[in-house]
Each structure stands twice: as C-alpha cells, then as structure tokens.
Amino acid sequence: MDAKQKGNYETIGKMTHSIPKTLKNIAILHSLVSNGHYEGLIKPTGFELKRKHFPNNFGIIGTLNNDEWFQVKSDYVKRLKYFAQFLNIIGIVIAIGLIFIKSNWIIAIIYFMFRLISHAYFKVKSEEGLSIFSSKFLKMKKMLGE
C-alpha cells in the first residue's frame, strides 16, 4: 500500500511534509486551533497556523497541490519575513558598496557570516516547528479515533 492509500501523515523527504485533504484531517486541523495549540485560519485551499507559544516567529503553512494533498512547510510569520528580506537587501547593498568603494572586505565577511548563521538558525527552528506540528497532529489524530 502506498501513502495515498493509507491516508496518513507522510514525510516525503527532508523538511517536506504532506497531509491528504480529507474531512478527518481538516477536522483535526480545526481541533488543533479550537483546543488552543495553534491559532490561524484554515481554508479549502490551504491553512496558515501559528503556534501559541511566546516567543514564536515561525508559522506552519499548508498549500493544496494538484493531487489534493496539503504540502506543509514552516516559514517566518509574515511581518518578520518581510523585515528579514528588507534587512537582507540592505545588508547586501552595504556589503557590496563597502567592497567596491573602500575595498573593505571585513564588513562583507562579517555580514555573510551573519547570514550563514541566521540561515542555519532558520533551518533548525523551522524543522523544530514542523516536528512539533506533526507530533501534535498525530496526537490529535489518535485522540479523535483514527
């Protein structure tokens, strides 16, 4: 039996999770919100959930693909995502400007080291968010009798 016949929560590789769009799974997502584990909205084409934990800058986003499965990923919340993109653009412009204008490689190296560290932090935290979501999803699925 393959994953579609089982209808279970599946991991298709590193950091790629998918949930089949069934009435039970949508009810489980609603119960995650109603029981206070997450806050957010659930639509027929996807969902956006944020864990009710302070501080939490990461959200869970599920988008519906052509096979009627939700592709689940973790990302920054919208405000922080736009702020991080803005800071990234400003940092790149300043680093490249200092390299060409003053031939100062130290600031550019420090900036790119900071970017490398922040990217590693993002990967670790998003994997942690997906892990917490999947464990709560499976726990709620067992509670609801699947």
Count of Cβ atoms closer than 10 Å to residue 137 Cβ = 22
The residues near 45 (Cβ < 8 Å, ≥ 6 apart) are: 63, 64
Query: Is residue 144's pLDDT more than 90?
Result: no
- For residue 59, what are the β-bridge partners? 50, 75
Task: Note the pLDDT tens digit of each residue in 102-125.
Answer: 887 888 888 889 889 988 998 898
The pLDDT assigned to 146 comes to 56
pLDDT band, very low/low/confident/very high, at 16 (cuts 50, 70, 90): low
The pLDDT assigned to 92 comes to 87
Q: Read off the DSSP letter of residue 52.
A: S
Token pair for residue 133? 């979501």
pLDDT band, very low/low/confident/very high, at 1 (cuts 50, 70, 90): very low
